[in-house]
Amino acid sequence: MAETKQVIVKVKRQTGPKEAARWEEFSLKWRPSMNVIICLRDIAENPVTRDGKKTTPISYDSNCLEEICGSCAMLINGKARMACSALVDKLEQPIRVEPMSKFPLVRDLTVDRQFMFESLKRVKAWIPIDGHVQSWRRAACVARNSGKRLSAFELHYLRKLPGGLPASK
Amino acid sequence: MPRDIATRAIHRIVYQEKLGVDGQPAVFLDVTHIPRETLDRKLEGILEIYEKFCGVDPREEPMKVFPAMHYTMGGIWVNAEDQATSVAGIYAAGECEYQYHGANRLGANSLVSCIFGGGLAGTATVKYSKSLEKGAESTASGVFDLEKKRQQEKNQKLISQDGTENPITIWRELGDVMTEHVTVTRINKNLEMADGKIRTLQERYKKINLSDRTKWSNQTLNFARELENMIVLARVITRGALARNESRGAHYKPDFPDRDDANWLKTTRAKWVNNDVQLTYEPVDISLIKPRPRRYDAAK
């Protein structure tokens, strides 16, 4: 019967960046549409290993749970992917779960991704939306140059934009 | 089919008639009779999401669906002028605050609260901080020490207590009772029962055990702190719903199916006093647009 089907998950654990790593194995009750995040949550609800030892809930990051934010990325059966869309039924068991190896480890599956965000800032990895900000700025400059008094709201945003506050005539 | 009507029908099938698929809160949404090419042209993105997270091709097998909460129309009280909360110096903007949506959010109106509210709150914050005669650096350190100590004691208590309750279990039960009784269909006796259940969870929360006494990256501690607030918020929502004997927007009571502007054209305001919910009401500004009945069967 499906009710008694078990899912075996092996998690690489490390209590801190300087501690030694170890593996823990868990046996969880199978449910339909189960993914790796659900496994980690089930472990947090009953943090006991397969051989009956009490342990701590596993530290991991997650947020949107719809494969957009990327915060639940980890190594699953050796492959870096997002845990929210890693379906248990499509994975070979025991499912091996490890932290991503290219980032400094914080604890268990949590890694410090700060340098990635810094790199994104360095290459300005975003798109100005439809030139909206620039066209708004141009319109505000024209208005100001023709003697119109801008609101505190407009002035505030103009100061923040590239180029800053345009000189008034 | 308007989504509130479809949603109530699903809710009834699952909770009143207990006919959810495999006993789970789900019903089938079947599109398999529509040709694959049509589906891929019209719904490809949505069907792909389903396939990705459920591992089943919805072009071949019916989808299991259930209404999900994805937005809160209520939130932190702020004033209409500059988004200031009732705590001096703290401003709120976006989905976390209560303005704009009333009993139902119109599509795309969440952007209003983000962009307009954010613009107001941003400028107000600058203005407020410039108006202060002294800043944090000239505040007596005792003020900060006191709060730091309070928070540390709270954390220490949660980490060290040897309770019998698991925070995830309480969270799951809270979600179940809220989904069944305090979402799309609200019945007073069920709301009272739900409030009772939430109060029990509040008691059980006092006996939680984090299963983790470490202080480094202890996510269960964060979760437990959030859970405490979730329970308070759940009580606020339940009690507000219980008091409002009418149907309005997303708030639907089968025992009071009509909108009652004479008694309920007002916003619920909740305050947490002595570990309990205190409700008061504030008027709704209808000076620009007069309320009219919402009808699906007539042209606007």
Each residue's pLDDT tens digit, B238-253: 999 999 999 998 999 9
Identify the three-state secondary structure at position B64: strand
| Partner residue facing A57 (CB), from B55, B172, B219 | B219
pLDDT band at B299 (very low <50, low <70, confident <90, very high): low
**Taking the model in full, what pTM does it have?**
0.86
Ranked by mean pLDDT, the top range of A34-38, A141-145, B114-118 is: A34-38
DSSP lists the bridge partners of residue B208 as: B165
Distances (CA, A) of A164 to A38, A154, B120, B124: 48, 12, 20, 20
Interchain contact A32–B (C-beta under 8 A): yes
Contacts of B212 in chain A (CB under 8 A): 47, 56-57
CB distance A15–B216 less than 8 Å?
yes
Tally C-beta pairs within 8 A across A and B. Answer: 63
Higher pLDDT, B178 or A155: B178
pLDDT at A3 over 60: no
User: To the nearest whole angstrom, how far is the Cα of A96 from the nearest Cα of chain B?
Assistant: 20
With an 8 Å Cβ cutoff, the interface of chain B facing chain A consists of 22, 24, 49, 52-55, 119-120, 122-123, 126-127, 166, 168-169, 172, 210-212, 214, 216-220
Please give the backbone phi and psi of residue B253, each rounded to the nearest 5 degrees, phi first: -120, 115
Token code pair at residue B132: 């202060």
| Partner residue facing B126 (CB), from A66, A108, A156 | A156
pLDDT at B21: 94
Residue range A67-80: mean pLDDT, rounded: 96
CB distance A66–B212 less than 8 Å?
no
Average pLDDT over chain A, rounded to an integer:
89
Are the C-beta atoms of A16 and A59 separated by less than 8 Å? no
pLDDT band at B166 (very low <50, low <70, confident <90, very high): very high
Rounded distance between C-alpha atoms, residue B14 and residue B186, angstroms: 15
pLDDT at B270: 96
| Residue appearing with tokens 């075996």 | A8
DSSP per-residue letters across A63-127: --SSSSS-TTEEEETTEEEEGGG-BGGGS-SSEEEE--TTS-EEETTEE--HHHHHHHHHTT-S-
| Partner residue facing B211 (CB), from A56, A89, A110 | A56
ipTM (interface pTM): 0.87
CB distance A44–B123 less than 8 Å?
no
Residue range B148-155: mean pLDDT, rounded: 96
Contacts of B55 in chain A (CB under 8 A): 33, 87, 89-90
Rounded distance between C-alpha atoms, residue A58 and residue A22, angstroms: 13
C-alpha dihedral, B162 to B166 to B170 to B175, nearest 10°: 150
Are the C-beta atoms of B246 and B253 separated by less than 8 Å? yes
- pLDDT tens digit sequence for A122-159: 998 877 665 566 677 777 778 878 887 877 767 777 77
Check residue A54 and report its DSSP letter.
Answer: B
Ranked by mean pLDDT, the top range of B1-10, B16-25, B166-175 is: B166-175
Are the C-beta atoms of A6 and A27 separated by less than 8 Å? yes
